[in-house]
Structure 1
């Protein structure tokens, strides 16, 4: 068999979209060439924003057989697996934490595969080859981090490098249990929660708000511009601009409209709030939200209930609405344990991080078990 050759790419445009996408499954829009290229072409991901693309690719002769998005990072913004304390401790001790190596989807805390391989490529051999790249970087980088990996991928990476440190987190996801429609979903809940959700939905309607779902080509430039205004409001309320700019979203609309779902809230037929989601063949990913109005329960309706209805109508099995939020439990979103992997070059820092991760894993697993008790479904 032809030897696997590793090449590092300085930008997504260095590889044809068709060759990259041929390795990506249909359920992972964030791994698509169009999404990653839009981040770079819009300037949202660049050396100026602290993200230096160093994408890792595997080749057999002229054939691209493996791709892994990879960056050198000069800070820890936009990752959602927080290592600021590690950096602070190491730099207080006289070390240098940045730059570091990062395998992740920028600004996107959605679990999924981080390495895509062609059929017939040995996953262990591929990871062995890739590991030589980030281990070789250790002279210049403090560490390597793979964020929000799938469980099967975690096991394979740890088989290749048993010393990789695992760090756990929790997100809340909705799974279709054969509900049929939204009424069927509510019927599976306790009477108390069923009534509470219906009351929340009525409250939104009683305020004169109507919800509209626009998919693909139905998302016109005016609707997208309004969404972006709402997206920016979410960040401006915290005193900063969003990580992503309008050019990024316009590029998504132009290059991968079939992956977009826009939920729009209107008052007197005028849009006042919006949620932009991405979707694959079985999963809906809720990502970006903002509102120009203060309205009771609008966030629940736009960000959760509309997504659940969309999944049930389109036959999507999973709804991942994004990070945080124990309030999702009462609305039928179950806790899911997530794992990220970390390689620390200096053994002194590595030992300290290993102890931290071990204690954190116990706490997160206990929290996940306790959170399951808060689900509102009838037993």
Structure 2
């Protein structure tokens, strides 16, 4: 049988786009990619803009597996010197490991930087799922061992990938996010009809408040997005980034790169006070999912955040036949607005056997707690129960 060759690369740009995308998004030859974040365009936009690289602590080290000269699998891997911009939090692990005298950083991270969105992390050619996954895991752990790195983390992978990886000896972690699901709604009122009367009234009041503020709200995608829109959004993004992370993850050039190569996969929602944009929400469009990513404003208006980030996203998803809206990480306030808790999966490999056992025990307890939380939170959601209050 032919051997599989694993190559480690220093950037995404050195891998031909056609070769990468044949693994990441083969469906894009006949339409929109299922996941815009694993495309060659997205990773190269982050690289070319300086958003990832040595400065950011995200150094690209993508893996490629070939068999008989054909690329059969790839993995977006990074060498990390910190745990920022990941959204699956392991800082407590790092502190414990370092208190015990170890060096947790650098580590290997298989992820989409700054993007808490579930998607494939083992990008395999159809028919090579098991073989390609095994080759990538073997290659990545060998890189970690040969470089004396503490660990490998594969975050926001699919449930199927988590099952396969766990079967190959990786630790399986479950956390949670809030997603909105389209249950065949014809319009926003159809969605509201599924809610309890109290929650339905609350959402209507929030929308009336936001839309009654005298602002004009524009929903833009593709060629309707102009460079001036990005200049405005950059101001919003900087404000939010400074408050949340201290330093924004993306550079200004990243938004220009998105505009040049991905604007057909972007939905930008902007609010104007007269001719001045004062708030905005950035979404990426998948084939079946709308991914909410960034929000910011230069003026505060009641309920405007909910309108731009959540309700306009639902409006657009319904109108365009999308099945889901993923509104990003955390945020219990999303529950009352129709976004229900769902499990999120990741995989982990830790070189030190004793520490790996301790983390494994922790993950078992955490998984049980998260599963219980999801059940409890879902029961408190806004949707009507069997005994309706209407």
Place the TM-score, normalised by the shorter chain, in its bin.
Answer: over 0.9
Residue correspondence of structure 1 range 127-142 to structure 2 within 5 A:
127-136=133-142, 137-139=144-146, 140-142=148-150
Query: 251, 263, 270: which one pairs with 2:276?
Result: 270
Q: Deviations over 1:253-299 (max 9, x none)?
A: 10111111100011123210011110111110000110011111001
Deviation at 1:160, TM superposition (A): 2.3
Secondary structure of 2:342's counterpart equals strand
Counterpart CA distance in 2 for 1:187 and 1:300 is: 19
- Give the one of 100, 111, 115 matched to 1:104: 111
**Cα offset, 1:12, TM superposition:** 0.6
Task: Specify the alignment match of 2:252 in structure 1.
Answer: 246
1:48-98 deviations in Å (ceiling 9; x for gaps): 211121101111233222111001111111111111111111111111111
Q: Which residue in 1 is equivalent to 2:50?
A: 43
Distance 1:62 1:341 in 2: 29
Runs of 4 or more consecutive aligned structure 1 residues displaced over 6 Å after TM superposition: none
The aligned counterpart of 2:239 is 233
Structure 2: runs of 5 or more not aligned:
26-32, 386-390
Which one of the candidate residues 155, 162, 177 is aligned to 1:147? 155
Decide whether the 8 Å contact of 2:179 with 2:326 is kept in 1. Answer: yes
Structure 1 Cα separation of the partners of residues 349 and 24 of structure 2:
25
1:186-335 correspondence runs (5 A): 186-238=192-244, 240-335=246-341
> What is the alpha-carbon distance in structure 2 between the residues aligned to residue 70 and residue 183 of structure 1?
43
Contact 1:124 1:160 in 2 (8 A): no
In 1, the alpha carbon distance for the partners of 2:11 and 2:164 equals 27
Q: Which residue of 1 aligns with 2:93?
A: 86
Distance 2:60 2:292 in 1: 25
SS in 1 for 2:346: strand
Mapped partners of 1:10, 1:61: distance in 2: 23
For 2:30, the equivalent position in structure 1 comes to none
Deviation at 1:238, TM superposition (A): 4.5
Give the SS at the match of 1:12: coil
- Structure 2 distance, partners of 1:3, 1:174, is 44
Q: 1:237: Cα distance to partner?
A: 2.9
Aligned counterparts of 2:206 and 2:275: Cα–Cα separation in 1: 21
Total equivalences in the alignment: 376
Q: Which of residues 70, 73, 76 is equivalent to 1:63? A: 70
Q: Over aligned residues, Cα RMSD in angstroms?
A: 1.3
**Distance (whole Å) between structure 1 residues aligned to residue 250 and residue 83 of structure 2:** 16
Structure 1 residue matching 2:220: 3-state secondary structure: strand
Give 5+ residue unaligned stretches, structure 1. Answer: none
Matching residue of 1:8: 8
CA distance in 1, matches of 2:14, 2:163: 30
* Structure-2-length-normalised TM-score: 0.94
C-alpha distance in 1, partners of 2:2/2:226? 47
Assess, with a 3 A threshold, how the Cα gap between structure 1 residues 46 and 313 changes in structure 2: closer, same or farther: same
1:158 corresponds to: 166
Of 124, 127, 131, the residue aligned with 1:117 is 124
Q: Select between 83-92 and 233-242 the one with higher mean Cα deviation.
A: 233-242
By how many angstroms is 1:344 displaced? Answer: 0.7
